[in-house]
Amino acid sequence: MAAMNMELIGRWAFIVGLVVAVIAGFVSAAGPTLVWLLAFLGLVVGLLNVAGHETHNFLLASVAFVVSASSLALVVPMEVVRNMLQNVVTFVGPAAGIVAIKSLFEIAKSK
């Protein structure tokens, strides 16, 4: 029961993080409060939303997205799109970091 609630919190953190990142792109560049909120939601997603069997796919997709979105944010002429991309990178980065750390611990335990 508790695992189900944690999984539900992780799912909602993912949805809320993406929605906040996209909507905030229309408002302005991210301020410190928004950056901390997106980073916190990313940490929650990394801790609660990515199961062991999803780790490889999540990390691969996260790295691909962060690299491509960071590159696109440099060349896209529309400020709104640049802000959205940067906000999503701010959200996904901490999630990927937590999942990578969890993965490293799993690798270390199995050796």
Please state, in angstroms and rounded to a whole number, the distance separating the CA atoms of residues 10 and 15. 9
Please state, in angstroms and rounded to a whole number, the distance separating the CA atoms of residues 59 and 55. 6
- What HEC string does 68-96 produce? HHHHHHHHCCCHHHHHHHHHHHHHHHHHH
Amino acid at site 1: M
pTM for the predicted model, two decimal places? 0.86
**Structure confidence by residue, pLDDT tens digits, 12-67:** 899 999 999 999 888 876 688 999 999 999 999 999 888 888 899 999 999 999 99
Helical residues (DSSP H) of 1-111, grouped into ranges? 2-27, 32-48, 55-75, 79-110
**What per-residue confidence (pLDDT) applies to 41?**
94
**pLDDT class of 101 with cuts at 50, 70, 90:** very high
Higher-pLDDT residue of 19, 73: 19
Q: Where are the domains of the chain?
A: 2-110
**What per-residue confidence (pLDDT) applies to 3?**
61
Please state, in angstroms and rounded to a whole number, the distance separating the CA atoms of residues 41 and 27. 19
